[in-house]
């Protein structure tokens, strides 16, 4: 996996768009309109930050399956966010599935009128 392939996967989601709220090389990817948009993926050169589950306990399954390759994200990890490395220990398909689940969890929390059409099928 690499950051370009992951960005392409993220941007293929209904309503997804890149944003640069901080001075980083790679964008975060949001869903939802403008100020109401919510991040579902934090892209870095060697990893992606995702909502790992609806709770910290569910997200901890990633840490158990891939020790050292899956870590709790700083500051927001207590809310179930993990950082998943592209180093190769986590299969590409699992990384893509993690982003899909993060997208689903984030969109489901948006008010119904702000959810993009077709998000359930993404």
Q: Which domain holds residue 43?
A: 3-121
- pLDDT score recorded for residue 122: 66
- What pTM does this model have? 0.93
Instruction: Compute the chain's Rg from CA coordinates.
Output: 13
pLDDT tens digits, 95-106: 999 999 999 999
Helices (H), 1-122: 3-11, 56-65, 92-109
**CATH number, domain with residue 93:** 3.90.1150.30
pLDDT tens digits, 53-75: 888 999 999 999 999 999 999 98
* Residue 67 bridge partners (DSSP): 70
**Domains identified in the chain, total number:** 1
- pLDDT score recorded for residue 102: 96
Helix, coil or strand: residue 24 = coil
Would the CA dihedral through 5, 8, 12, 16 be positive or negative? positive
| Residue 86 · residue 95 · CB < 8 Å | yes
């Amino acid at each position: 996996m690499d950051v370009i392939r992951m960005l392409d996967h993220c941007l293929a989601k209904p309503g997804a768009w890149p944003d640069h709220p901080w001075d980083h090389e790679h964008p975060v990817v949001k869903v939802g309109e403008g100020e109401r948009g919510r991040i579902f993926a934090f892209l870095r050169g060697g990893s992606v930050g995702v909502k790992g589950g609806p709770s910290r306990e569910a997200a901890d399954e990633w840490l158990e399956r891939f020790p050292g390759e899956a870590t709790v994200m700083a500051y927001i990890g207590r809310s179930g966010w993990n950082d998943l490395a592209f180093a190769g220990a986590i299969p590409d398909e699992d990384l893509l599935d993690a982003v899909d689940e993060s997208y689903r969890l984030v969109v489901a929390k948006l008010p119904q009128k702000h959810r993009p059409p077709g998000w359930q099928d993404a």
